[in-house]
Amino acid sequence: MSRFQDTEITWLGHAAFHLKSPEGTDVLIDPWLDNPSAPDINKDEVSADIIALTHGHFDHMGNTVEIAKRTGATVVGIFEIAQYLGNQGLEDDQTVGMNIGGTAEVDGLKFTMVHAIHSSGIVSDANLVQGGDPAGFVIEMENGYGVYHTGDTELYSDMKLIGEFHNPDMMLVCMGDHFTMGPEKAARSIEWVDPEYSVPMHYGTFPLLTGTPEALKSALPEKYKERVVVADPGEKLT
C-alpha cells in the first residue's frame, strides 16, 4: 500500500496547498488564499503549524503574514524572505531561513530546498525588495513519504537529480506557461522525477496561464498519464 494513504493533500488553487502529515501536522505551501481559483473557505480559520514559501512573489507569499501571526506557524523559506518576514512582525523563532541544497527539520518533517529557475522580488510599498533565489521544496513526512513542490520554474536538467537523490512520491508541478514552464516541459519534468503521482498546478488562475491538464497528459508517455491526479480546488487527495 502506498504511504500516501497516511497523508492528506488539498489543492487550494494556483500554487497553494494544504498538507496534513500522518501525525497530524498542518503544512501550508505558498498560501495565497485570495487567488481566483481558491475554494470557498474561511481563510481566518485555516490551520497551519508550518508554512513553506518557495519565493517572494505576491501569488505565493499571499496570506503568509496574517496566517503566521494568527496561528503562530513556523515559516520556512530562503534566508532573505525569512529576514523580510521578521520585518513584517513575525517573531525571531517563527522563521526558519535556509538556502538551496539545505534541509531543515521542523516538527518532525524535513524540508529540503531545491533549485527553481524563476525570480523572487517582493513588491513592498511600491518598492521591489530582494527576495533571494526562487526555490522548490521536497517535504518528507514522518513516515518517509515525499512531496516535491516545484515552485515556479522552467524545466532544467537537474530535476533528474531530484528524482535520483530524493525520489519523491508526489510531485506538485507548475504547468501554466507564460510565467513558468508549460505542459510539454512539465511532462518532461515528470518523466525525469518519476513520482508515483503528480498533481498539476499554477494554471488557469489568469488568462495568461493557458496550460491545461489535458495538454499535460497528452505530452506524457502512457505509463505516466494514469499517474496524473487532476484536483479541483478544495478537493482532498487521500
170 lies in some domain: yes
**pLDDT for 144-164, tens place per residue?**
999 999 999 999 999 999 999
71 lies in some domain: yes
For 30, phi then psi, to 5°, come to 45, 65
When mean pLDDT is compared across 10-24, 52-66, 125-139, the lowest value belongs to: 125-139
CATH number, position 217: 3.60.15.10
Burial degree of 34 (CB within 10 A; 0-12, 13-18, 19+): middle
177 lies in some domain: yes
Give the rounded percent of residues in the chain with a pLDDT score beyond 90: 95
pLDDT at 3 over 90: no
Report the domain count for the chain: 1
238 lies in some domain: no
pLDDT at 49 over 50: yes
58 lies in some domain: yes
**pLDDT for 106-137, tens place per residue?**
999 999 999 999 999 999 888 899 999 999 99
64 lies in some domain: yes
237 lies in some domain: no
Both ends of the chain: CA-CA distance in Å?
Answer: 12
117 lies in some domain: yes
Query: If you average pLDDT over residues 206-218, what whole number do you get?
Result: 98
Q: Which residue segment(s) compose the domain that 35 sits in?
A: 3-231
What is the Cα Rg of the chain in Å?
Answer: 16
